[in-house]
Amino acid sequence: MRVLVVDDEVLCAEGICYAIDWKQIGVDDVVTAYSMSQAITALEKMPVDIMITDVEMPKGSGFDLLEWMSKSAYHPIVIMLTSYATFEYAKKAINYQVFDYILKPVSQGTLLDVASRCVIEVKLQQGNREKSQKALYWDLQERQRIRHFWRTIIESSKHWSSESINEYARSEHITFDDQQLYMPMIFKIQNISESLTWETLTPRIKIAIIEEIPEIKEKIVWMYNQERLLAIVQNIEICEELRGKIHKFAYQFIRQMSTENIRMSLYMGQF
C-alpha cells in the first residue's frame, strides 16, 4: 500500500512521512510531492492508494489536483490538510468525496487515527473489487456452460423431452426450471450483400437487441452458425408487453436491413 504526501512546505511533507510508523498500520511506501505537477507525475508513475494533500499551494491547489483527478483514472482515498477552517473549503471537500479534512498543524494522534481508518477503507475497497472480479469471472463461466448446454440440445438429433433436458441439466450441474418459459429467437439470412459478411452482421443484431430491449441483456444466450443466429431468452416472464417490444424491434430491424439489400427472417417461439 502506498501513500502520497503533497505539500509545498517541504518540512511539513517530510514531517508527515516520519510522524507515525506507517508500516505498523499496513503502509509499505510513503512518497512526497511538493507541487501539483509533481503529484500528477507521481500518480501517473506509480499506483497510489492514499493521498494526503495540502489545500493551499501556489502552483495549483489541492482542489485543482482533485479536479484533475476527477477527469483521470486515478482515484486514491484523499485526506486534505489546511491551515484555514472555512465553510467553502469544507463544502468543496464534500463535493470531491474527500475521506477526511483536518487542520494544520496535525497532531501525531490525529494523523495516526485518520491514516489507520484510511488503510481500513482501502482494504475494504480492494476486497470489494476482488469480489466483483470473481463474480464477473464466474458469471462468464456460467454463461459459457449454459451456451454449451443449449447448443448440445439444439444441434443434437436426439428428441429431447422435459425429463431428458432436466436429466442432462442435472448431469451438468445446471439449474433448470422446467416450469419456466424460454423464448427462442432465430434470425435467418435469406441473402447477404458482398460488402457485408455474416460475421460483421451478427454483432449488429446483438447490439441492436440489447439497446432496444435492455431488460433481457443479462438473460440471453447466443449461438450462431453460418446463416442463423439463435438467441434464447431464459428465466424471464414472457409477457405480452415484452413480446410486443421484440416484434416491434424485429420488424424495424429487418426493414432496416432490407435497405442494405439484406433479406432476413425471424422466428420467435416459446418452450
What's the CA gap between 62 and 55, in Å, rounded?
Answer: 4
Q: What's the confidence (pLDDT) of residue 251?
A: 81
Per-residue pLDDT of the chain (271 residues; tens, 9 = 90+): 999 999 999 999 999 999 889 999 999 999 999 999 999 999 999 999 999 999 999 889 999 999 999 888 888 999 999 888 777 888 888 888 888 888 888 889 999 999 999 999 998 888 887 777 777 777 777 777 777 777 777 667 777 777 787 788 888 777 766 566 677 777 777 766 666 666 677 777 778 877 877 777 666 666 666 566 667 776 555 567 777 777 788 788 888 877 777 777 777 766 5
Interatomic CA distance for residues 61 and 8, integer angstroms:
10
Per-residue model confidence (pLDDT) at position 7: 93
pLDDT for res 28: 92
Contacts of 124 (CB under 8 A, 6+ apart): none
d(Cα 111, Cα 145) in Å, to the nearest integer?
51
**Residue 270 has what pLDDT?**
62
For residue 222, give the nearest of 178, 185, 261, 182 by alpha carbon: 185
Please report the pLDDT score of residue 112 as a whole number: 92
Give the number of other CB atoms < 10 A from CB of residue 7: 25
**50-54 and 77-82 beta bridge pairing:** parallel
- Whether 261 contacts 193, CB under 8 Å: yes
According to DSSP, residue 214 is labeled G
Amino acid at 263: R
3-state SS class at 4: strand
> What contacts 24+ positions apart, CB below 8 Å, involve 35-43?
35/6, 35/8, 35/59, 35/60, 36/6, 36/60, 36/61, 36/64, 36/65, 36/68, 38/6, 39/4, 39/6, 39/65, 40/65, 40/68, 42/4, 43/4, 43/69, 43/72, 43/74, 43/76
pLDDT number for residue 263: 76
Assign 3-class secondary structure to 40-72. Answer: HHHHHHCCCCEEEEECCCCCCCHHHHHHHHHCC
Q: Which residues of 83-111 are buried (b: 16+ CB within 10 A; e: fewer)?
A: eeeeeebeebbeebebbbbbeeebeeeeb
* 4 touches 51 (CB < 8 A): yes
Residue 179 neighbours by CB under 8 Å, 6+ apart? none
